[in-house]
């Protein structure tokens, strides 16, 4: 227990040396992730996220870059890619969403460009979306 308490104070001391603006930007990034998961079915829009989080594009972008090393839209895309993957691997989810084809799932999660979607998906999951779907149908 003593070690856990010591870690709390150590992290507090480390946080104390970071400027308040930087801490707030990092919190914005966390808020974006929460918002992204809560709004995964909504149209993908950075402007809406900025409005909902009551922030500016610059603050959100800086917070995301400082915290995760990527921009806010990339974070939102990865969240949606995870949902696409879950839908492609689960017939139950596909049935709930009333979506069966890769194209339907891609569009449902606001990926408009077929080519960009397939390329990004393959980089992230190391296989094509169609292959993921085929594997789940064979199980």
Q: CB atoms < 10 A from the CB of 81, how many?
A: 19
Cα separation, 98 vs 104, in Å, equals 9
Tens place of pLDDT per residue across the chain (139 aa): 455 545 555 544 444 455 556 678 888 999 999 999 999 988 889 999 999 999 999 999 999 998 889 999 999 999 999 999 999 999 999 999 999 999 999 999 999 998 899 999 999 999 999 999 998 887 6
**How many residues can be counted in the chain?**
139
Which helix (H) or strand (E) is 135 found in, with range? helix 129-138
Structure tokens at 79: 């969240």
Q: What is the pTM of this model?
A: 0.79
């Amino acid at each position: 227990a003593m070690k856990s308490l010591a870690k709390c104070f150590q992290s507090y001391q480390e946080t104390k040396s970071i400027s308040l603006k930087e801490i707030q930007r990092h919190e914005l990034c966390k808020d974006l992730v929460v918002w992204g998961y809560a709004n995964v079915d909504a149209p993908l829009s950075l402007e809406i996220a900025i409005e909902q989080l009551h922030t500016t594009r610059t603050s959100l972008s800086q917070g995301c870059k400082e915290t995760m090393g990527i921009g806010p839209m990339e974070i939102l895309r990865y969240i949606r890619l995870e949902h696409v993957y879950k839908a492609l691997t689960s017939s139950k989810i596909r049935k709930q969403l009333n979506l069966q084809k890769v194209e339907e799932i891609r569009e449902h999660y606001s990926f408009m460009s077929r080519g960009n979607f397939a390329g990004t998906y393959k980089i992230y999951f190391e296989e094509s979306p169609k292959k993921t779907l085929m594997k789940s149908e064979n199980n």
